[in-house]
């Protein structure tokens, strides 16, 4: 029973992990999850994923049948470790527990299916990095190569047309965050205040969320304005699980670059004293004051952005 449950958990978790990581760049996590990265190398194309899924499904059916047999007690007379007769139990418990096996099904559902799926969904590389996962994957591929799943492929060949559905904006956003930048712009706000026709101030707020492990430096360069700059102050705050973490950030100052057309670009590099954790939020606040008419401001959207807010 224990072996069957562990095997089923491995099959369920590896399915979620492989589908989630298919086509993703995972080699940057090689040091942290060496076995997980090696497991993904087995899937160089879509066909290999299909072969694994077919072999895995056959394997799952066999294991579930084994668990069903192990948890069946058709000739039991008394409850384990007691003298209580099974026939003395209420008919509902007798039906659910010993005839249809509901309690055993719930046990398998919770521990051998949902638990590994939830873990693999949160961190697929962590699950694939567990000892033995690569052997389970190879076993699924071996079973598929023996041919028990081939009839399904023959029947499915009747459907000739392959529908190609373009990725949604949500998927594109996540792909950009995971594969290109490693962090996303969680929130931006621009609050302009005009004291007169010749005096203005701007509060620019930018929140970046870390989405990839191993990062230690961020670059913020989204604000461009025109006008004569006066006083300027900058501050950065790190939030982790909703709490402010002091002493973690190092800012080397904000670079101001003014082009001949009078556009001023602000760039700052924000470094951590140690690597950022996933879901960390770095909140940058700019307070700028200037004189002279501000003709326009430009918002540079070069990174995946969830929310923008403007207020004048």
In a domain, 161, yes or no: no
How many CB atoms lie under 10 A from the CB of residue 135?
11
pLDDT score recorded for residue 295: 62
Determine the structural domain holding residue 89 and report its residue range.
Answer: 2-156
Does residue 182 share a domain with residue 66?
no
What is the average per-residue pLDDT within 186-195? Answer: 86
In a domain, 196, yes or no: yes
Does residue 180 share a domain with residue 152?
no
Residue 192 has phi, psi (to 5 degrees) of: -95, 140
pLDDT score recorded for residue 77: 81
In a domain, 240, yes or no: yes
* Least trusted range by pLDDT, from 69-83, 108-122, 223-237: 69-83
In a domain, 169, yes or no: no
Question: Residue 188: beta bridge partners?
Answer: 206, 308
Does residue 149 share a domain with residue 38?
yes
Question: Residue 229: beta bridge partners?
Answer: 290
Does residue 143 share a domain with residue 6?
yes
Please state whether the predicted TM-score (pTM) of the whole model is above 0.85.
no
Which residue shows structure tokens 């973690």? 248
Question: Is 294 a residue whose pLDDT tops 70?
Answer: no
In a domain, 282, yes or no: yes
In a domain, 166, yes or no: no
Question: Is 292 a residue whose pLDDT tops 80?
Answer: no
Confidence class for position 93, pLDDT limits 50, 70, 90: confident
3-state DSSP helix/strand/coil % of the chain, to nearest 5: 40, 30, 30
pLDDT tens, position by position, 234-289: 899 999 998 999 988 987 778 888 877 677 888 888 888 888 988 999 999 999 88
Per-residue tokens: 291: 């004189």
In a domain, 167, yes or no: no
Does residue 141 share a domain with residue 21?
yes
Among 96, 122, 156, the domain-final residue is 156
Euclidean distance between CA atoms 5 and 105, whole angstroms: 11
Does residue 132 share a domain with residue 10?
yes
Total domain count, the chain: 2
Contacts of 2 (CB under 8 A, 6+ apart): none
Does residue 143 share a domain with residue 17?
yes
The crossing angle, in degrees rounded to 10, of helices 133-145 and 2-21 is 90
Contacts of 211 (CB under 8 A, 6+ apart): 177, 178, 181, 182, 183, 184, 278, 279
Among 128, 156, 184, the domain-final residue is 156
Does residue 149 share a domain with residue 220?
no
Does residue 251 share a domain with residue 197?
yes
In a domain, 252, yes or no: yes
Among 156, 186, 203, the domain-final residue is 156
Burial 142-175 (b: 16+ CB within 10 A, else e): ebbeeeebeeeeeeeeeeeeeeeeeeeeeeeeee
Does residue 182 share a domain with residue 148?
no
Does residue 224 share a domain with residue 90?
no
Contacts of 300 (CB under 8 A, 6+ apart): 221, 222, 223, 224
Euclidean distance between CA atoms 40 and 124, whole angstroms: 10
Does residue 11 share a domain with residue 46?
yes
């Amino acid at each position: 029973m224990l072996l069957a449950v562990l095997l089923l958990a491995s099959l369920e978790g590896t399915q979620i992990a492989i589908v989630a990581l298919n086509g993703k760049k995972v080699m940057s996590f090689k040091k942290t999850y060496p076995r997980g990265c090696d497991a993904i190398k087995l899937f160089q194309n879509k066909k290999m994923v299909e072969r694994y899924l077919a072999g895995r499904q056959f394997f799952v059916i066999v294991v579930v049948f084994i668990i069903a047999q192990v948890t069946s007690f058709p000739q039991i007379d008394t409850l384990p470790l007691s003298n209580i007769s099974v026939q003395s139990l209420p008919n509902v418990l007798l039906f659910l527990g010993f005839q249809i096996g509901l309690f055993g099904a719930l046990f398998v559902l919770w521990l051998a299916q949902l638990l590994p799926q939830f873990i693999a969904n949160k961190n697929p590389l962590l699950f694939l990095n567990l000892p033995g996962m690569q052997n389970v994957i190879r076993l699924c591929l071996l079973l598929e190569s023996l041919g028990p799943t081939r009839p399904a492929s023959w029947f499915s060949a009747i459907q000739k047309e392959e529908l190609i559905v373009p990725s949604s904006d949500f998927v594109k956003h996540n792909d950009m965050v995971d594969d290109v930048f490693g962090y996303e712009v969680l929130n931006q706000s621009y609050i302009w205040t005009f004291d007169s026709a010749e005096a203005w101030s701007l509060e620019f707020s930018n929140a970046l969320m870390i989405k990839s492990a191993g990062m230690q430096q961020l670059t913020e360069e989204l604000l461009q304005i025109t006008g004569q700059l006066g006083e300027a102050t900058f501050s950065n705050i790190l939030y982790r699980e909703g709490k402010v973490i002091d002493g973690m950030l190092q800012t080397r100052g904000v670079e101001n670059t003014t082009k001949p057309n009078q556009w001023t670009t602000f760039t700052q590099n924000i470094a951590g004293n140690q690597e950022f954790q996933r879901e960390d939020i770095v909140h940058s606040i700019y307070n700028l004051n200037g004189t002279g008419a501000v003709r326009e401001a430009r918002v540079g959207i070069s990174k995946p952005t969830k929310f923008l807010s403007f207020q004048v």
